[in-house]
Structure 1
Amino acid sequence: MELGVFLPISGRAASAEVLTEAARQAERLGFEAVWSADRVVTPARIDTAYPYSENQQFIVPPDLPFLDSLTCLAFLAGRTERVRLGISVLVLPYRQPLHWARVAVSLDRLSHGRFILGVGVGWMEEEFAALGAPFKARGAVSDEQLEIVARLWSEQRISFQGSHHSFDTVAFAPKPQRGHLATWVGGEARAARRRAGRYGDAWFPYYVDITAAELWARFEEARTFAAQAGRDPGRLKLCVCRPIELTKEPEPQNPRRLRGTPEQLAEALLVYRERGVHHLALQFMVGRWPERMEQIERFGSEVIPALR
């Protein structure tokens, strides 16, 4: 099972120096990937429930810095050598597909094929409104964009006429480094699993509260959707984002959470590996970067060796 770790691209510590330190630390400790979250603008007032925290409140206040994900990953492509660079996840309806596809392939090429494209439909209604993006049609818009980029990356020239995007014949070069850009489809709803089955190389949800068994049962549905779309369900991977908390003292274990000592976490993570999880992207739930860096260092030195 591969392991990834989220980068500190938001908050007061977000800087070239901290990002370089974080990415190189992950590379040195043996993480396979570093991950950046995506945010274009943070509205001053957010009433939409945030699905990835216990209190359903968005975790980054609007007055704190939030760097652009793809820019950070492009910067880190030149500061690292081996670690893969992923976005979790690019909100497709915020962007014009011909533009973001060019940026994604450029990043992939400049990193020598290390880029992982996580994609999603978004959740914050206020951000959609600020950007003039269609919130209610976000799923349909995203599906069209995935159809478009699949053709951009495989055909020399394409045209497209859809309900939300249309353009006459365009050429698109270069193509992805390996002929195909790894696309991991985020989202937790049934529609996301259908989208992953139809378009993705992986289903890539972010779950705060779930067991490994429940996760695998939902993944089986994504594989069913892949088969219905005429794709090989065995090639679809299960990749997941999870929050994690490293403690100094043993904690009562809850199979729905990742919290405990290095020994407890190693045992819990082995369950995910046994369930067939291909990649686990970990978000260490520590607000301040120095303390978070210390937790990641401890995890790398005490947990990763136990999983190997």
Structure 2
Amino acid sequence: APFYDPFATLAWLAGVTRTVGLGTTVTILPYRHPVHTARVAANIDRFSNGRLVFGAAAGWAAREFAVLDVPYRKRGAISDEYLAAIKACWADEVASFDGAHVSFREVHTGPLPVQRPGPPVWVGGHSYGALRRAVKLGDAWHPTSVSGDWLLGVGLPALRQVAEERERPVPDLCPRIKLRVTPRPLGPGRLLGEGTAAQIADDLGLLQDLGARAVVLDPTYPGDRREAGRTARDLDVLEALVKEVIDVDAGCVR
């Protein structure tokens, strides 16, 4: 499916909104030079007066890496360095970084982001490398399309173990879940956010109990015709969820 460039889209959204949070979920770190990524992200944080969340991951589409002539098997190491370099650019208007995959000296990177020391970093991915990256460089772990059983039995225990091994705080949980309402309950193994309104309410309650700082909802209906970047159902589903399940003002499940 076609996708608009995230930073072009966010720059536009920053100009036509005033309070809504903005973010990427996720930008693929190896696809762009980190100095460029840092600058456009900082610009958007400026344009939006500090509303940007920077979601980032190492990527998964081997063909896209091939088109960009980026080594797919090194994407994890590249992502680690690029994310560290981005944060260095946000920290000071004149930044330097020395790594195996990117190096630069005394690069002028201003204007700096409104948020200090930079926009919140949500690290996506489910692999050990992604968890390590989230613990080392992220403010939050941003898993996508997971089941409740996997999150409770595998994902969160692994995240806590990595944090303990590295003697660092456990990053916040900020997942992106599907939002697909079905007329009948779905059985075991369903992803978070899929099922009846009652099942989705239970999922959001679970994430709330787990201390999730934020939850990104991803309306998706496989097979539906996409028009103007969304299905005709998306807005109806979100409105129904707000009416029946989510207390927007309180920021919690009803």
Q: What is the Cα deviation at residue 278 of structure 1?
A: 1.9
Partner of residue 232 from structure 2, selected from 283, 290, 302: 290
8 Å contact kept, 2:113–2:119: yes
Gaps of 5+ in 2: none
Structure 1 length-normalised TM? 0.72
Q: For 1:1-308, list aligned pairs within 5 A.
A: 60=1, 65-179=2-116, 180-208=118-146, 210-211=147-148, 214-215=151-152, 217-233=154-170, 236-247=171-182, 249-254=183-188, 256-257=190-191, 258-286=193-221, 287=224, 288=226, 289-305=231-247, 307-308=253-254
8 Å contact kept, 1:197–1:227: no
Q: 1:248-298, CA deviations, whole angstroms, 9 ceiling, x for partnerless residues?
A: x34245464333332332133212211222222111122342222221221
Structure 2 length-normalised TM? 0.86
Q: 1:147-178, CA deviations, whole angstroms, 9 ceiling, x for partnerless residues?
A: 21222222342322221112222222222212
Measure, in 2, the Cα distance between the counterparts of 1:214 and 1:96.
32
Q: Report runs of 4+ in structure 1 exceeding 6 Å deviation.
A: none
Gaps of 5+ in 1: 1-59
8 Å contact kept, 1:193–1:219: no
8 Å contact kept, 1:213–1:275: no
Three-state SS of the structure 1 residue aligned to 2:156 is helix
Q: What is the Cα deviation at residue 229 of structure 1?
A: 4.0
If asked which structure has higher relative contact order (CA below 8 Å, sep 6+), I would say: 1
Q: 1:167-203, CA deviations, whole angstroms, 9 ceiling, x for partnerless residues?
A: 2222222222121210000001111000100000001
Alignment size in residue pairs? 241
Greater mean deviation of Cα atoms: 143-152 or 117-126: 143-152
Relative to structure 1, the CA distance from residue 252 to residue 216 in structure 2 (aligned partners, 3 Å threshold; closer, same or farther) is closer
